[in-house]
Structure 1
Amino acid sequence: MLLLVTITGLLASASSRPCDTQGSNPELFLSLNKNLLRSLESQEGLPNPSIHLALRLSPHHNQAKETDHLNRLKNELHDNIQTSLTHSQAVSGLMALYALALKSSCYDLNTITFIINDKSETLLTHLKRQMEQEKDHIAFSHRPLTNYYQYSLGVLALCVSGIRVNNHVSHKLIKAAENEQFKHGETQSVDTYAMAGMALQCVKDSGSYAHNAAELDTALSQIKQKILASRRADGHIGNEFSTGLAVQALLAMGSEVGECAASMNAMRTAARSNTYHNPMAISQTLPALQRKSYLSIKTLECLNEDDTLVLEPVDPVVVLTSDTKVMVTVEVVTASGAAAAYSVDVPKGSSLLEALELLERRDVGFTFQKESSQWGPFLSAINGEQARQSDRRYWLLSSDGTALTQGVGDFKIDFAQKITIKNTSY
């Protein structure tokens, strides 16, 4: 009887631990942590606040490098947001990530200001105004100025920073969840469900939503069900690159071991096979593997922190061009539906970006332009036609009919295939 009681007690204890897994993986976590820290040395474009969040949520730190990155955020990213605000551009998502990054370093957000029309106001004041504009746009056109992922980030950043979120702002997110409006094109967006789940869980925990508590609980339950329903047989949720945020959301919403242990195992397996070589992918996966979520930022105290994370010298990697060539057919489908096809032989293992550069150099009428993002370069124009976020359009990439989960800089051409680049609305 004593043995039975003991076993029962152990099972009860295990089931009560959110998303617990079999043992820890310190070597794997440390490797990812170092890869993320090392990415700061080769980072192009604006400093990435998502990388800063992941570094700060880790138990291991390199205080000097993190401080340098924080200073870059406060200068370069700050100036970029200031320019966007000056030109009346919607930047709720980027501003929210900036606030979360500062908060993760226990920085006083009241000292961060932006100037519009000669009037200086704090970052959080501007973010609240951005969210009001987003909310009003939903009331007018049934969608945010940006998208529901950025809208969720805005709610989350305000809530984590201790700012009471307007009930009407939260209500719009709740209704969007109920009406299944979290889509990218025609596909359900696991990333958006995850971010919305963390945002609304924070609102619930704060006790500030006085509109309808039952409505909030129902939305959270629906979000959780959507996330779990998106889990594949291999444990990944949505795809390999959305699993990190999805598990973060499950952690934040208090899921038990049975609901995300398989996804934890899937992320560990993918990490060991270097699937997460993109720093942005690591930044969303590492906190989840360490059983943290963006909600964890709310309780960070930045006291007596570890400072033992040291980067060993790394020998430069020499990438040898393969002698094996594979043929890639690139089909471009414009917004009107007109299609044009091009072919090019590329060295096996080339990135899609390298393949497009080779194709452009052949001078066969194919041209493209790219822009930078937190995930790396993305296509902005093909043959002179743009697919701009401001027009709610993007270039959808697929290989032999299957949508790509990686960007043009990360996807590798290892065999002959047809790449379709389609101007798509969302």
Structure 2
Amino acid sequence: EWPQTGRLALYLLGLRATCPPPEPHPQRSLVTWLKYYLEEDWTGSRRHGHPVTSYYQYGLGVLALCVHHKRVREEVIRRLLTAQHHGRLGHGGNTVDTEAVVALAFACLEKKRLVGAGLAAELRAAAHRASRSMAEAQGPDGIIGNIYSTPWALQVFLATGMCQTEPAYGPAMAALLDNLDAFSTAATMAQVLPVLHGRSYLDIASLHCQEEPDMLTPMAMEPPTEVLGNKTVQLVVECPPPWCSQLRLYDRPVPVPAAASLLDVLWAAAAQEPHNFTFDTQDTSQGPFLTQVLGLEARQQKRNYWQLLTAPNTPLQMGVADYRPRDGETLILRLSGW
């Protein structure tokens, strides 16, 4: 069974943010488990190893421990510093979210004085390097990486005190405000809400829970506008070497209702005659994650995943359940390495 590093880290971050009652024993047990996962979630040496899950989850684990004011072994921190130094962070060409999580962990450890002076200086420099890297990754539309990694980058600017001096901050915030409807799951909302209030996850560590007023009020939700009609989406499946000898495995038009998401397109393709299209998803905190197409399973051991693109070669900014393709659009499911 894979270590649950990322899931437990997110739970501990959320637990700290909700100001739980002063019952330390359950939290202490979870923190101990997270420390255990950080050791189990590593294979190989410090210099040449890598997480069994991902650097994103590993960085989240370190960040969660820091937010709970727990010291982290220098060996664990060095693993992240080495990975950043050698450019090993990232997934599918987009490193922003992972770089940001790791930078937040570095900034937290340094600001909360959970490491010695020498290591603190290294962490401070590494966090600022990551901040500059994210600014350089900003596109002309203001988005840094993709729309979901942009809040992470903004959190780094806030946590490192660069939001007032970094030119990328303003355009990124404007892009975020223009795309708030993309943040429709609890996990993505949790990434963007702190930024909208000028905060980062580091601020969780400094919460004064007794002073927090209860400001939660119910919100009336309007039903989405019904979209009538139909559309046709061209669905393509690609499997490049070394996983397959034939690149294009599937290429067919799929008629669906006008409001259909990419996930709906996949279900419609599976229902078409002949029934030669198959797929599978895994439920995650950020919605369904595509794990298998045409019997080909993306596996962490093989360090590959199913990348979602719109033709000819543009990665999608949303997941399978959130993206709604246009009529006549060509969507590509491509088995890719990371």
Same fold, judged at TM 0.5 (above): yes
Pick one of 97, 117, 130 that aligns with 1:191: 97
Aligned in 2, Cα 1:416/1:129: closer, same or farther, shift over 3 Å?
same
Identify the residue that residue 7 of structure 2 maps to in structure 1.
94
Identify the residue that residue 217 of structure 1 maps to in structure 2.
124
Q: Is the 8 A contact 2:156 2:200 kept in 1?
A: yes
Q: Distance in 1 between matches of 2:277 and 2:23?
A: 47
Give 1:136 shift: 5.2
Q: Distance in 1 between matches of 2:99 and 2:76?
A: 17
Identify the residue that residue 173 of structure 1 maps to in structure 2.
80
Q: Structure 2: which amino acid aligns with 1:355?
A: V
Give 1:256 shift: 3.6
SS of 1:380 mapped into structure 2: strand
Q: Distance in 2 between matches of 1:288 and 1:396?
A: 28
Give 1:110 shift: 3.5
Q: Is the 8 A contact 2:233 2:331 kept in 1?
A: no
Give 1:420 shift: 1.4
Q: What is the number of equivalent residue pairs in this alignment?
A: 328
Q: Is the 8 A contact 1:328 1:346 kept in 2?
A: no
Aligned in 2, Cα 1:310/1:319: closer, same or farther, shift over 3 Å?
same
Q: Distance in 1 between matches of 2:164 and 2:30?
A: 38
SS of 1:350 mapped into structure 2: coil
Aligned in 2, Cα 1:368/1:218: closer, same or farther, shift over 3 Å?
same
Identify the residue that residue 332 of structure 2 maps to in structure 1.
420
Q: Distance in 2 between matches of 1:101 and 1:256?
A: 24
Pick one of 360, 365, 385 that aligns with 2:296: 385
Give 1:142 shift: 2.4
Q: Distance in 1 between matches of 2:140 and 2:305?
A: 29
Q: Is the 8 A contact 1:102 1:109 kept in 2?
A: no
Identify the residue that residue 283 of structure 2 maps to in structure 1.
372
Q: Distance in 2 between matches of 1:397 and 1:109?
A: 44
Q: Distance in 2 between matches of 1:378 and 1:408?
A: 7
| 1:357 has 2:271 as partner | no
Give 1:109 shift: 7.0
Q: Distance in 1 between matches of 2:177 and 2:222?
A: 25
SS of 1:233 mapped into structure 2: coil
State which drifts further: 215-224 or 394-403: 215-224
| 1:262 has 2:262 as partner | no
Structure number with larger C-alpha Rg = 1
Q: Is the 8 A contact 2:233 2:254 kept in 1?
A: yes
Q: Distance in 2 between matches of 1:106 and 1:309?
A: 14
Identify the residue that residue 116 of structure 1 maps to in structure 2.
none
- How big is each residue's C-alpha offset from its partner over 1:105-129, in whole Å with a ceiling of 9 and x where there is no partner? 233574227xxxxxxx811112112
- How big is each residue's C-alpha offset from its partner over 1:198-248, in whole Å with a ceiling of 9 and x where there is no partner? 100111113233354443233222211111111122222112211111101
Q: Is the 8 A contact 1:177 1:222 kept in 2?
A: no
Q: Percent identity of the aligned residues?
A: 31
Aligned in 2, Cα 1:315/1:418: closer, same or farther, shift over 3 Å?
closer
Q: Is the 8 A contact 2:131 2:153 kept in 1?
A: no
Q: Distance in 2 between matches of 1:243 and 1:236?
A: 6
Identify the residue that residue 123 of structure 1 maps to in structure 2.
30
Identify the residue that residue 336 of structure 1 maps to in structure 2.
244
Q: Is the 8 A contact 1:331 1:418 kept in 2?
A: no
Q: Distance in 2 between matches of 1:140 and 1:175?
A: 7
Aligned in 2, Cα 1:381/1:290: closer, same or farther, shift over 3 Å?
same
Aligned-residue Cα RMSD (Å) equals 2.2
SS of 1:103 mapped into structure 2: helix
Q: Is the 8 A contact 2:42 2:49 kept in 1?
A: no
Q: Is the 8 A contact 2:70 2:114 kept in 1?
A: no
Identify the residue that residue 12 of structure 1 maps to in structure 2.
none
State which drifts further: 103-112 or 123-132: 103-112
Q: Distance in 2 between matches of 1:213 and 1:317?
A: 49
Aligned in 2, Cα 1:258/1:336: closer, same or farther, shift over 3 Å?
same
Question: Between Structure 1 and Structure 2, which shows a larger proportion of helix residues?
Answer: 1
Q: Structure 2: which amino acid aligns with 1:389?
A: Q
Q: Distance in 2 between matches of 1:276 and 1:371?
A: 19
Give 1:360 shift: 0.7
Q: Distance in 1 between matches of 2:23 and 2:126?
A: 30
State the structure with bigger RCO (CA 8 A, min sep 6), 1 or 2.
1
Aligned in 2, Cα 1:256/1:422: closer, same or farther, shift over 3 Å?
closer
Q: TM-score, normalised by structure 1?
A: 0.71
Aligned in 2, Cα 1:131/1:407: closer, same or farther, shift over 3 Å?
same
